[in-house]
Amino acid sequence: MPETTIPAAQIAGDKFEPKIVAFFCNWCTYLAADLAGTSRTRYAPNIRVIRLMCSGRVDPQFVLDAFAKGADGVLIGGCHPGDCHYQEGNYKALRRVRMLKRLLKEMGIEEDRFRLEWISAAEADRLRVAVNDMVEKVRALGPLRLQVPPEVFAEEVNA
Amino acid sequence: MAETTQSSKPKVAFYWCAACGGCEEAVVDLAENILDVVGAVDIVFWPVALDFKRSHVEALADGSILACFINGAVRTTEQEEMVQLLRRKSKLVVAYGACSHLGGIPGLANLWDRKSIFQAVYHEGPTTVNPEGTEPQTCFKEDGRTATLPGFFNTVRALDQAVDVDYYIPGCAPTPKVTLAALQTLLSGNLPAKGTVLTKDEALCEECPRKDSRPEKLTLSEFKRPHQVLIDETKCMIAQGLVCLGPATRGGCEALCVSGNMPCTGCFGPTSRVHDYGAKALAALTSIVESNDEQEIDRVLAAVPDPVGTFYRYSLPSSLLRRKRTAA
């Protein structure tokens, strides 16, 4: 993940700005984000949106990889139950997320860092509320610091 | 080379780190085939079977061992030193068995750290009597004598997280067939690409004897544990509600566990296309839960009480998260 996209001020500043990777479904939540943009809705600029064709495309590997590479939180946005463009991709996402949440907890990653939201193409405001709420919760938790450069890995091994 | 009378047969070494000894057994399991192996190579180091010392390895020229087979995860400083030494002396380092390949069962200790492990073992164990609160020290002096113990790392590593690894032989333990085929490949001189796992590269289901009994649309309304059901010996394990990790696991073992009427637990690890075994295994099994209702999904998934121990049974250190997060 290219770290260069993060403004230096966010890293250097004394106020912690959470980095949140957001996987948005092409048919609903991504369009909600689009709508939020065209209607000049303001929300926390902490999310990095990755557009996928369906929330069901979110392989749990993507979530772990985001955390391992420096994300402080991961947000998945999909279509409301019953509305999936591919019939049941969002249900598949839901099933994986329910188990993945438990797995992350066992690995010491707080529940508020990982979230699944159903947001339709018309719900720009729901997106604003969800993103703002998540950013505040993650900000309160502080940085995750899972990204491990080799010298830190050695420290972690020796501790 | 120093010793002029040495035969010209390729030199091979075996070493064990944090392991149960099953991988050593697996080498002996080659049975009469081991005679062909011994005939073709010179074994220069094998602590479990032959009386060579560390100094013998140190005396060898760098790179003079053709292949060194190392099983077990890296848990202590002694293991780290030994694998670094063997790496220097060997042309090829082969991670042998699940612990070395992925971190293995000892790797589940990454859910704890040194402090909590010492606490459990030396203070809280139900049969522990330790009123002075003694803990192992790396160095202890008494009457002018010094006793030393290897240091205990905070985190367990797979072999390739400690030294450069050329090839992997998977399994807990690797089967004799996989071992023999890998040995023959290495001795043939016709080497595959570095980093290759020396067995098949497709999911276990492909070679499963119960493949044809798998329904067209595989769904699950209940997870069952092996002691809760009489397992049908002909039917797909997952179709019976069992947590079988075959869909996410590399084949090559000839479905030994399934043939023994037990579900696959994933010891061969992922195929080459997968970065995180546990995530893929989790996705494969949870996606097919036959419900769209959150509460019902949670109820079904609750029958898997330990997600990390189930999906990362053999691979926690080599996973993307590697260990339980230490408090920042």
Residues B31 and B133 in one domain: no
B231 in reach of chain A (CB within 8 A): no
Q: Is residue B165 domain-resident?
A: yes
A109 in reach of chain B (CB within 8 A): yes
What pLDDT is stored for residue A4 in this prediction? Answer: 44
What pLDDT is stored for residue A1 in this prediction? Answer: 41
Beta strands in B224-283 (DSSP E): none
> Is B328 close to A145, i.e. CB distance below 8 A?
yes
How would DSSP label each residue in B124-155?
A: I-TT---TT-----SEEEETTEEEE---EEEE
Tokens 């959150």, residue located: B294
pLDDT in tens, B37-72: 888 899 999 999 999 999 999 999 999 999 999 999
Residues B47 and B178 in one domain: yes
Give the global pTM.
0.91
Q: Please tell me the distance from the alpha carbon of residue B78 to that of residue B82, in angstroms, as a whole number.
A: 6
A156 in reach of chain B (CB within 8 A): yes
What pLDDT is stored for residue B1 in this prediction? Answer: 43
Q: Which residues of B touch A153 (CB under 8 A)?
A: 161
Residues B38 and B76 in one domain: yes
B113 in reach of chain A (CB within 8 A): yes
Question: Among B154, B287, B294, whose Cβ lies nearest the Cβ of A158?
Answer: B154
Q: Please tell me the distance from the alpha carbon of residue B277 to that of residue B175, in angstroms, as a whole number.
A: 20
Looking up residue B43, the CATH number of its domain turns out to be 3.40.50.700
> Is A143 close to B320, i.e. CB distance below 8 A?
no
B76 in reach of chain A (CB within 8 A): no
For chain B, what is the mean pLDDT?
A: 93
What pLDDT is stored for residue B39 in this prediction? Answer: 87
pLDDT in tens, A38-76: 999 999 999 999 999 999 999 999 999 999 999 999 999
Q: Is residue B4 domain-resident?
A: no
A102 in reach of chain B (CB within 8 A): yes
Residues B286 and B217 in one domain: yes
> Is A61 close to B274, i.e. CB distance below 8 A?
yes
Would you state the structure tokens that stand for residue B121, as one six-digit string? 């073992």
Residues B141 and B269 in one domain: no
Spatial contact of B196 and B168, defined as CB atoms under 8 Å apart = yes
Opening angle at CA B150, ends B79 and B67, nearest 5:
15
Consecutive 10-residue averages of pLDDT for chain A (159 residues):
46 78 98 96 96 97 95 97 95 97 96 97 97 97 81 68
What pLDDT is stored for residue B3 in this prediction? Answer: 47
- The neighbour count for residue A147, using CB atoms within 10 Å, is 14
Q: Is residue B296 domain-resident?
A: yes
Question: Among B279, B289, B308, whose Cβ lies nearest the Cβ of A64?
Answer: B279
Residues B76 and B174 in one domain: yes
Domain boundary assignment for chain A: 18-158
The domain made up of A18-158 is a member of CATH 1.10.3860: no
ipTM of predicted complex:
0.92
Strands B139-142 and B145-148: antiparallel
A81 in reach of chain B (CB within 8 A): yes
- A96–chain B nearest CA distance, Å: 6
B112 in reach of chain A (CB within 8 A): no
Residue from B76, B223, B322, B324 whose CB has the most chain A CBs within 10 Å, to mutate: B322
Spatial contact of B318 and B103, defined as CB atoms under 8 Å apart = yes
Q: Which residues of A touch B323 (CB under 8 A)?
A: 156
For residue A49, give every residue at least 6 positions away whose Cβ sits within 8 Å of its Cβ, in sequence order, or none.
Answer: A22, A24, A30, A33
Spatial contact of A105 and B307, defined as CB atoms under 8 Å apart = no
B310: nearest CA in chain A? A103
Residues B137 and B29 in one domain: no
**Number of domains present in the structure of chain B:** 3
Q: Which residues pair with B74 in a beta bridge?
A: B157
What stretches in chain B show pLDDT beneath 70?
1-7, 327-328
Question: Among A67, A102, A159, whose Cβ lies nearest the Cβ of B307?
Answer: A102
**Containing H/E element for B173?**
none
Residues B211 and B307 in one domain: yes
The pair phi, psi for residue A88, each rounded to 5°, is -140, 25
Q: Which residues of B touch A91 (CB under 8 A)?
A: 292
What pLDDT is stored for residue B29 in this prediction? Answer: 87
- A146–chain B nearest CA distance, Å: 8
Residues B161 and B280 in one domain: no
For chain A, what is the mean pLDDT?
A: 90
Residues B27 and B173 in one domain: yes
Residue B316 CB-half CA count within 13 A = 26
Give the closest residue to B171 by CA, choosing from B16, B26, B302, B32. B26
Residues B136 and B17 in one domain: no
Residues B101 and B139 in one domain: no
> Which residue segment(s) compose the domain that B281 sits in?
204-311
pLDDT in tens, B208-217: 999 999 999 9
| A22 preceded by a cis bond (ω within 30 of 0) | no
Beta strands in A12-63 (DSSP E): 20-25, 47-52
What pLDDT is stored for residue B32 in this prediction? Answer: 86
Q: Which residues of A touch B158 (CB under 8 A)?
A: none
Q: Please tell me the distance from the alpha carbon of residue B257 to that of residue B175, in angstroms, as a whole number.
A: 12
Q: Please tell me the distance from the alpha carbon of residue B183 to that of residue B176, in angstroms, as a whole number.
A: 10
